[in-house]
Amino acid sequence: MPLSICMLSDDFIPAATGVGTHLQAVSEQLARRGHRVSVVTTRRRGEPERQTWRGVDVHRVFTVRAFGFYQALPSVRRLRAIFAEVRPDLLHHHYLGVMLVRAMRVAASMRLPQVYTYHMTEDHLTQPLPMRPLRPLIRAEIVRRCNRMDAVIAVSRNMAAQLPGTGITAPVTYISNPVRFPAQAQPEPATRDADFVVMFAGRLDPEKNLPLLLDGFARFRQRFTGRAELWIAGHGGQRDRLGRLAQSMGIDADVRFLGFLAHAPLARHYAACDVFVLPSLVETQGLVAMEAMWFGKPVIVADTVVSADELVDDEVNGFIVPHDRPDALAQALHRIAQDPALRQRLGEAGKQRSLRFRPEVVVDELERLYAGLFVGRAMQR
């Protein structure tokens, strides 16, 4: 049953976060299946107010930039006009912000079913220092908004199990993030000079715990007899601090800060690395680790990643290490570097695991959820 689905997100195209990458994958797949898909998102300088992207209608609204992030600030009148045009059967929210609050008000007056994907915790939303004192208020606001939804999607099973304990009483459903790289052809790997390459991708912010990665890599490099490099893809507020830290550890010549990488160059770097590390203190799932697995790479994740044991079976497709033990990370890196057969076995197991994250599998589950909500709301009428 084709539906009109309206998604709201502060990030979409070009994707600057995992949320934008997620939304690109699911919206494109839904449009291919015959649904009418519209996305309301931010408008940056030089971007059109309206466009069509791969069958998806994109509506861009008034936007401000704060703390390095773009935030959509549409008026209620603007949202009413968009909804009157696209005539949505349901709304799917992907960001907690002003746009969500205003859209919820309009949706309630139109009696539209609403879904919220729990991409970010209060820790993600209050990383800038001026926001830290607001963390309890943000936590309460997340719970309040979620409890007004018809369904809340958690992107990891562990997160889905934890959310009711935070006070969320709305129905919670687990639906994974999708991995959006093509299955057929591997891209040409990025150029590399090192014998062994460690990679990270994501925001360079405190919750990513990158000092652990630098420390662990420095300890590994002391034991490794070949040439090793650490690739760090992404941008964020800690870039300069991390550069100084690498210099103080004597590894700055072997650490490459790649900056933000778009989809195609990111794929080339995944293809070229030997192992991917996700040392985060806070993650709702860890999309970048799933992407690395898609490219057949072993992954090492910190035990503080909520989905660590969903992503990794220890010594099957990678390793789970303590978030505060750089020596444990160094040991895991050394094992993978010294044993090519182990590296290949871990990577192949990860590739097989990543198949469950294909967009078509994820969207199958989304369609079932949407259909149930639409039919349920229709029966209420």
Lowest mean pLDDT among 120-124, 150-154, 305-309, 350-354: 120-124
Give the position of tokens 């107010």.
49
Cα 308 to Cα 286: distance, rounded to the nearest angstrom: 8
pLDDT computed for residue 283 by the predictor: 87
Cα 56 to Cα 256: distance, rounded to the nearest angstrom: 36
Mean pLDDT score, 302-315: 94
Categorize the per-residue pLDDT at 103 as very low, low, confident or very high, splitting at 50, 70 and 90.
very high
| Nearest to 357, CA basis, from 313, 317, 314, 310 | 310
Categorize the per-residue pLDDT at 347 as very low, low, confident or very high, splitting at 50, 70 and 90.
very high
Q: Which residues are 56's β-sheet partners? A: 53
For the chain, percent of residues with pLDDT exceeding 90: 81
Cα 296 to Cα 274: distance, rounded to the nearest angstrom: 9
The answer to whether residue 377 scores a pLDDT higher than 90 is: no
Cα 97 to Cα 138: distance, rounded to the nearest angstrom: 10
pLDDT computed for residue 68 by the predictor: 73
283: phi then psi, degrees, rounded to nearest 5: -150, 145
pLDDT (tens digit per residue) in 29-61: 999 999 999 999 999 999 999 999 999 999 999
Q: What is the DSSP letter of 6?
A: E
Selected residue with higher pLDDT from 237 and 56? 56
Cα 5 to Cα 275: distance, rounded to the nearest angstrom: 38
Lowest mean pLDDT among 144-148, 186-190, 219-223: 186-190
Hey, is 313 helix, strand or coil? coil
pLDDT computed for residue 202 by the predictor: 93
| Nearest to 72, CA basis, from 12, 119, 135 | 12
pLDDT (tens digit per residue) in 125-151: 656 666 667 778 888 999 999 999 999
Amino acid in position 299 = V
Cα 354 to Cα 245: distance, rounded to the nearest angstrom: 34
Residue 124's Cβ-count burial label (10 Å; 0-12, 13-18, 19+) is: middle
Lowest mean pLDDT among 76-80, 82-86, 120-124, 346-350: 120-124
- Neighbour order of strands in the sheet with 56-61: 50-53, 56-61, 36-42, 4-8, 90-93, 114-118, 151-154, 172-174
The answer to whether residue 184 scores a pLDDT higher than 90 is: no
